[in-house]
Structure 1
Amino acid sequence: MRHVTTDGPLAAHTLARGDGTPLVLLPGFPIDARVWVDVVRHLPVGRTVIAVDPPGLGRSPDGEAVAHALGAGPEPSLETSADAVAATVRAAGLDRVVVAGLSMGGYVAMALVERHPDLVAGLALVDTRSTPDDDPGRANRLRVADAVLASGDLTELAGTPAMQLSPVSIDTRPELVEQVLAWIGDQRPSGVAWSQRAMGARPDRTRVLAGFRAPAVVVVGDQDRITPVPTAEHMMDVLPDAELVVVPGAGHLAVIEDPGTVAGALQRLLERVDRGTAA
């Protein structure tokens, strides 16, 4: 990836530079900004694009250090993540951006809309949901967090590609399975545990979407088993100004299974935002 800065609380990777409304990309769990690189390659040149690593993942500091820098409480939370993204984006000299969040990045994007609405000119929610975990899901997150910290390794996440990729990708594109496993293997157990606990504590943000008045797009793989199409439709039901894009043959990682389709959805959103800004 291109130039990385740590002027703000989080590591920010500048993937492109140009004019128009900048695009900020937030990755999913348990990976980092690299998951967005193929999507950016499909976008037209001439726009600033920044991908931000989550607390404790990629090249960002641990969640505890991020929270301390922000004066936030010690408990892991997506609110801390959102505040850190906002501070990082502003440290890069940007004050109005389109935010695209994949899975956990979508949770952070919705928290960003709630806590820093002046920053978000457009919103892309990719393979994510606005509702919280149910009790078994929350308990499993806490179990995984405890296990990775106790063991110091990430063997608990070995089955992640099987859940995140579509069955077709698993059968015919072994390079994607290897890539996801390699990205996971690069992460720190402390960051994985922090993210799991933060996601487990997240509230329902459906009402936040209902109040979002800027352009939006909801993208979902038609084979997504983690946040399936009905969860995308639930968000579409409340967003006032949104496009739904269902990606054929993709699972929870449409951004690497079909980056061209995801890039097309983002480009249409960016053009809508740019037109509104010019008006």
Structure 2
Amino acid sequence: MSERSVLRLADDVALSVETWGPADAKVTVVLLHGWCLNRRTWHHQIAALQKMGEAAPRIIAFDARGHGRSGSTRLGSATLGQLGDDLSEILRRYAPEGPVVLAGHSMGGMTIMEYAHGHPEEFAQRVAGLLFVSTTAEGTAHTRYGLPARLATLMRAGETLGAGLLARSGAWRPHRAFLPALRPALRWLLFGDDYEDAALQMTMKSVGRTTLRSIGGFRTSIGEQQRLDTLARLGDVPAAVLVGDRDRLTPPPCAECIAEALPGTELTVFPGAGHMLILERHAEVSAILTTIVERAGASTSGERRRRTRRARKAATASPSGKAA
């Protein structure tokens, strides 16, 4: 059984949080969902983690601001940097001690990078494992939507214009009568060759629970993020990067650049899969995640202290005295 609670942040946004397992578990896993999605997209991985027996971790999953059951956000707070700060507060309140594994899908992976960038020493002290799924550290630099370059440029321009309009639409959510019309577009954009209809239905419902302000508002921050340098400073954290070769939003070059920047990272490319790997290839993703959790459980506090010292040195070396 899970426990549900609400975390009210400093700017009065209420985050809907769900936890499983004892607070004193050896490892805590935090699951971060993608843009326009919610925590339920991780349900396969949650079930797999609960089956780990005595090694089962404490699990924390929450809806990002403006998504799912969480409260709406102001437009000025619809940024990845704010999501990184929200993650820091989640850890402070729900997992104040012990090693942590962070798993992020799409925008969730970008949130992890922002947390590492904005809270480098805290990250080094706490994080013992990472899973990046269908994400990028370079904004939309590699995004072509699976289209020829000229068409991709036109589509990006239309997406940017539409996002600007939606961002000014407030806390309204897409009308349920409009969602069936989105089905073909979402299926093409987010899924690969083989998928379950239940996965597409869940994705559509998730989009329907996202505020229009969040659908449009986060687009600028997502498109502009550049965090390869941050990844390069993280050191020897056990990590894996997963991507589908039919991913039209964060194609394989995104994952390849992350794997090159983060030492020791294992890269897996899934043939025929799209952007929704945690639903399309849920068994494989779950197996990789449980392996990372097992490795995190075997990590030592000494290893984390060494990463902390490296984070301090990196911050000191920056001209501003902060991690760049």
TM-score bracket, shorter-length normalisation: 0.7 to 0.9
Note the C-alpha offset of 1:216. 1.2
**Pair 1:101-2:120 in alignment:** no
CA separation in 2, counterparts of 1:210 and 1:139? Answer: 33
Which residue of the partner structure matches residue 168 of structure 1? 194
Give the partner amino acid of 2:118: R
Cα 1:176–1:111 shift into 2, 3 Å: same
Long gaps (5+) in structure 2: 10-14, 144-152, 303-324
Note the C-alpha offset of 1:35. 0.4
Does structure 1 retain, via aligned residues, the 8 Å contact 2:136–2:258? yes
Which residue of the partner structure matches residue 51 of structure 1? 61
- Count the aligned residue pairs: 267
CA separation in 2, counterparts of 1:94 and 1:35? Answer: 25
Seq. identity, %: 27
CA separation in 1, counterparts of 2:57 and 2:169? Answer: 43
Which residue of the partner structure matches residue 12 of structure 2? none
Moved more, 139-148 or 6-15: 139-148
SS at 2:60 equivalent: strand
Which residue of the partner structure matches residue 250 of structure 1? 273
Which residue of the partner structure matches residue 70 of structure 1? none
How does 1:92-241 map onto structure 2 within 5 Å? 92-95=94-97, 96-117=99-120, 118-119=122-123, 120-134=127-141, 137=156, 140-147=159-166, 149-150=168-169, 152=172, 154=174, 155=178, 158=182, 159-169=185-195, 173-200=196-223, 202-213=224-235, 214-241=237-264
CA separation in 2, counterparts of 1:113 and 1:100? Answer: 13
Note the C-alpha offset of 1:28. 0.5
**Could you say which structure has the larger radius of gyration?**
2
Which residue of the partner structure matches residue 71 of structure 1? none
Does structure 2 retain, via aligned residues, the 8 Å contact 1:219–1:232? yes
Note the C-alpha offset of 1:266. 1.0
Which residue of the partner structure matches residue 6 of structure 1? 6
Note the C-alpha offset of 1:153. 5.1
RMSD: 2.6
CA separation in 2, counterparts of 1:153 and 1:94? Answer: 34
Q: TM-score, normalised by structure 2?
A: 0.74
SS at 1:130 equivalent: coil
Give the partner amino acid of 2:2: R
CA separation in 2, counterparts of 1:256 and 1:94? Answer: 30
CA separation in 2, counterparts of 1:161 and 1:236? Answer: 28
Cα 1:105–1:142 shift into 2, 3 Å: farther
Q: After superposition, give the CA deviation of every residue in 1:150-189 in whole Å (9 maximum; x if it has no partner).
A: 49553599222321111332xxx33322221122112222
Does structure 2 retain, via aligned residues, the 8 Å contact 1:8–1:87? no
**Pair 1:82-2:84 in alignment:** yes
CA separation in 2, counterparts of 1:139 and 1:3? Answer: 41
